[in-house]
Chains A and B, each alone.
Chain A
Amino acid sequence: MADLGVERADFVAVPVQDLARADAFYGKTLGLRRNPNSGERWVEYELGNVTLALVSPEAMGPDFEARPHQMPIALRVADVEEARDKLEAEGVQLDGEVIDSGVCHIAVFFDPDGNTLQLHRRYAPFADGTTP
């Protein structure tokens, strides 16, 4: 093992083509807290335990082509059905109805650049009996 001493994930980059549009989506539509240390070209949003960094042509240069996340960043909400309805009312692109995996509720949706996100709520305890 390399034993790198990984302490935490400082951020997860989210590729976006239009920074202003993404800024509005993560801030206003999703209602996430904007990191006050964000700059004009590097904008961050806080999920509580980890930071999303919007990576855009403003930060990377005009040739940057945003290739969206194929797999989801899962956002924990109290009630997936209720949150899904709110996003639908806001005109957010959703991928079908709420799914019950047998241990959690999931609703997949996309940001304006096509990055995959999901509303997530685990209702079943984990294998060791603990709950989220």
Chain B
Amino acid sequence: MIEVQRADFVGLPTQDLERAERFYEDVLGLRRNPNHSPGWPEFETGNVTLVLTDVAKTEQEFSPNLGAVALRVPDVAEAMERLRAAGVEFDFEEPYDSSVCHMAFFRDPDGNALILHHRYAPYRDGSTP
């Protein structure tokens, strides 16, 4: 067993770094990490860093990330409308209600899965997000 201290970042593959940068910064409105290494743009979700990785720098075939990053927003329906106005398409017309949270499933321009997420129900132990 090893001792993991935290997640330093989550890598997201892209085939068009500039397009991806515009999406994460201008459309999603995430803060750019000014300390990023050249060519490896980083965006902050608040608790964890997303690193955009140009697959051309690796020896791999591009494969979009289908393990979604769930972004917490105060109001999923409202955030959905704002993203729609910016040209983003969603998998479903309305927010999906899982009975504990609202979710809206979408993709970034490379097809990486993202979710607008807001849990409204308390957890089993009574705590709330």
Q: Which residue of B lies closest to A47 (CB)?
A: B7
Contact for B2 among A70, A73, A116, A119, CB less than 8 A:
A119
- Count of chain B residues with a beta carbon within 8 Å of a chain A beta carbon: 56
B46 touches A6 (CB 8 A): yes
Contact for A78 among B5, B37, B46, CB less than 8 A:
B5
- Set of chain A residues within 8 Å of B4, measured between Cβ atoms: 30-32, 47-48, 75-77
- Set of chain B residues within 8 Å of A69, measured between Cβ atoms: 11, 65, 67
The answer to whether residues A67 and B13 also contact, given A2-B86, A10-B72 and a CB cut-off of 8 A, is no
- Set of chain A residues within 8 Å of B129, measured between Cβ atoms: 10
A34 located at the interface, meaning its Cβ lies under 8 Å from any Cβ of chain B in the complex: no
B47 touches A8 (CB 8 A): yes
Q: Which residue of B lies closest to A83 (CB)?
A: B2
B71 located at the interface, meaning its Cβ lies under 8 Å from any Cβ of chain A in the complex: yes
Interface of A is mostly: loop
Tell me the B18-48 residues at the A interface (CB within 8 Å): 25-30, 34-35, 37, 45-48
B119 touches A10 (CB 8 A): yes
Q: Which residue of A lies closest to B86 (CB)?
A: A2
B67 touches A15 (CB 8 A): yes
The answer to whether residues A49 and B47 also contact, given A10-B117, A15-B66 and a CB cut-off of 8 A, is yes
**B112 CB → nearest A CB, Å:** 9
Contact for B29 among A3, A28, A30, CB less than 8 A:
A3
